[in-house]
Structure 1
Amino acid sequence: MHDRPTTPLFDLGGRTALVTGSARGIGFALAQGLATAGAAVIVNGTRDDTVADAVAQLRAQGLNAQGRAFDVTDEAAVAAAFAQWDQDDVAIDILVNNAGIQFRKPLVDLALSDWQRVIDTNLTSAFIVAKEAARRMIARGTGGKIVNIGSLTSEAGRATVGAYTAAKGGIKMLTRAMAAEWAAANIQANAIGPGYILTDMNQALIENATFDAWVKSSNPSQRWGKPEELVGTAVYLASAASSYVNGQIIYVDGGWLAVL
C-alpha cells in the first residue's frame, strides 16, 4: 500500500486570517475552521470580553488564535487596528468579512437610521476593512484572499428585511468590483451566500413554528444549515485551491435557491 501524497491545496499553514464578527455564530465557526486548516486567526468583535472568550475557546483546542475588538463600521478604528498589526509585523493574508446584523421591519415603517445602521454594518464595513487589507496585500506583492459573507438575499428578496437584502445584494456586487480591481495583484475576492443557518441571530425564527416549518418545507434538504457547514467553502476560498476563482458568490443553502 502506498501512502497518499499530501496536498497543499487546502493547507492554510503560514497564513494569517482576520475574521470580522467572529466572537460567536457563523464567524466563530469560520475562524475555528480556518485555524483547523492551519491559519493563525484573529478573532474580532465589538467587545473585549466576548473576543477574549472566543480566543480562549480556540486556544483550548490547540489552535493559533489572537483577538482584537473594534467596530468594523468605524473607519478610524479599522485603520488603527491595521496600523498596530503593521507595527507588530502581522500580515493579514486572508480576510473574511463576516460581521453583520439583522433588523426586521416593513420598508414603509423603516427609519432611515435603522436602514443606515444595517447598510453600514453589513456592506460598508466590508469595504472599509477590505480596503485596508488589500492595500497591504498589494504592497507586499504576495496576493491574498478576501471572502465576503453574503446571503440568500444576495439573490432573492424577502419581506421585512429590505435593508439587509439591499446590503447583501451589495456584497455580491462589491465582491465583483474587488475582483475587477485587485485580481491583477493576485488577490482573489469571493463571497459565500449562506442559507437559513442555526445561529443566535436567527433564534427568533427558529423558535417560530410557522417559519421553522416553512424553512424545512421550502428547502430540498428539509432542514436548517449548521454554521460548520460553511467551513469547507470558506477554506476552499481562502486556500490555493481557488487561485483562479474570482468575483464569485457560492451559495451554501441546501438547494433552496435551486427550486425557487
Structure 2
Amino acid sequence: MAADLTGTTAVVTGGNNGIGRALAVGLAKAGADVAIWARNAERNAQTVAEIETFGVKALGVSCDVTDEQAVIAAMDETVATLGPLGCFVANSGISIETPIVDMSFDTWRHVLATNLDGAFLCTREAARRFVDQGVGGSMIVVSSTISRYGGAGMAAYGASKTGVLGLGRTLAVELARHRVRCNVLVPGWTKTAMNEHLQADERFVRATSGRTPVRRWAEPEEFHDIAAFLADPSLTFHTGNEVIVDGGYTIY
C-alpha cells in the first residue's frame, strides 16, 4: 500500500540537489507539502517549481544549517507558511577529499560543521517542534555507506556520516515517548553532482559497480519511494532502523 502523506508538512535540508532533491520530490509525489532548506536560492526555486507540479505546496528557504539562528528562523517560516511539522529530513552534506596527512584543521571543521553540527542543529529544532505539537512525526537522518567501509581521503566526511548514525539512533530512543520516529537512510553509490568527478573516472565506476550486486550506481529517482516509506505516519513501530539502499554494496 503506497504511503499517503496528504496534509503532511515536510522539510528537506539540502533538498535542492542530488539525493536530497529526490527525497523532496518523493515526499511531494506522496502528497506532502515540502520546504526546501538550502543556501542556493536559484536551485531552491527550481526544486519548488518541480514539487508544485504534483499539486502540493512548496517553499524554498535560504538557510545555512551551520547557523543556529538561521535554522530557527527557517523553521518559523516553514511552519507559518505550510503548517505544523510532520516530517523532517536532515540531508545537508558536503565532501572535501583530502589525504589525512594534508588535511587542515579548517577543512576538517568545515565538513563536520555542515554534516554533523548542521544535522544536530536541525534535528534539535525539529524535535522541539514535534514535542511542542504533541502529535508525533517522522525524522530521517541521511548518512552514507562510507560509515561502513571508510574511504581514502574521506576522513572528515566519513567521521561526519558515522556521527549522524549515533545521532539518529539517539533521537529514535529519546523521542519515542513523544511518538516521533527517527530512521537513518544509508545510500550507496548514486549519480549526483557531488560525485561527478568520480562518475567521470571509468575505472572507478567499473570497480564500484563490480562490487555492487546489481552492477550499477543508483539513479536519484530511486529514492522517491524510500522517502515516502520512511515518512509514512502509519508505520508507528518503525524507528531506530538503518535503511541501507546500496544495491547490496555493503554485504558483498
Give the TM-score band, short-chain normalised. Answer: over 0.9
Q: Is the 8 A contact 1:154 1:171 kept in 2?
A: no
Cross-structure match for 1:11: 4
2:226 maps to which of 233, 255, 260:
233
2:64 maps to which of 71, 74, 88:
71
Structure 2 gaps of 5+ residues are none
Residue 242 of structure 1: CA displacement? 2.9
Distance in 2 (CA, whole Å) between partners of 1:73 and 1:64 is 26
Cross-structure match for 1:117: 110
Q: Percent identity?
A: 37
Tell me which structure has the larger Cα radius of gyration: 1
Distance in 2 (CA, whole Å) between partners of 1:54 and 1:37 is 16
Distance in 1 (CA, whole Å) between partners of 2:5 and 2:82 is 19
Q: Is the 8 A contact 2:209 2:217 kept in 1?
A: yes
Q: TM-score, normalised by structure 1?
A: 0.92
Q: How many residues align?
A: 252
Distance in 2 (CA, whole Å) between partners of 1:216 and 1:89 is 41
Residue 182 of structure 1: CA displacement? 0.6
Cross-structure match for 1:38: 31
Cross-structure match for 2:196: 203
Residue 216 of structure 1: CA displacement? 1.3
1:181 maps to which of 155, 160, 174:
174
Where 1:66 maps in the other structure, the secondary structure is: strand
Please give the root-mean-square deviation of Cα atoms over the aligned residues, in Å.
Answer: 1.5
Q: Is the 8 A contact 2:26 2:223 kept in 1?
A: no
Over residues 57-113 of structure 1, what are the superposed CA-to-partner deviations in whole Å (9 max), with x where a residue is unaligned? 222453432211110111110111223345447222100111111110111111111
Distance in 2 (CA, whole Å) between partners of 1:187 and 1:206 is 37
Q: Is the 8 A contact 2:84 2:133 kept in 1?
A: no
Where 2:83 maps in the other structure, the secondary structure is: coil
Change (3 A) 1:206 1:88: closer
Q: Does 1:84 align with 2:73?
A: no
1:152 maps to which of 145, 156, 163:
145
Q: TM-score, normalised by structure 2?
A: 0.95
Where 1:198 maps in the other structure, the secondary structure is: coil
Change (3 A) 1:242 1:225: same
Change (3 A) 1:38 1:61: closer
Where 2:183 maps in the other structure, the secondary structure is: strand
Cross-structure match for 1:3: none
Where 1:93 maps in the other structure, the secondary structure is: strand
Q: Does 1:24 align with 2:17?
A: yes
2:242 maps to which of 236, 249, 253:
249
Q: In the TM superposition, what are the counterparts of 1:130-169 in structure 2 within 5 Å? A: 130-169=123-162
| AA at the equivalent of 1:49 | E
Where 2:85 maps in the other structure, the secondary structure is: coil
| AA at the equivalent of 2:86 | D
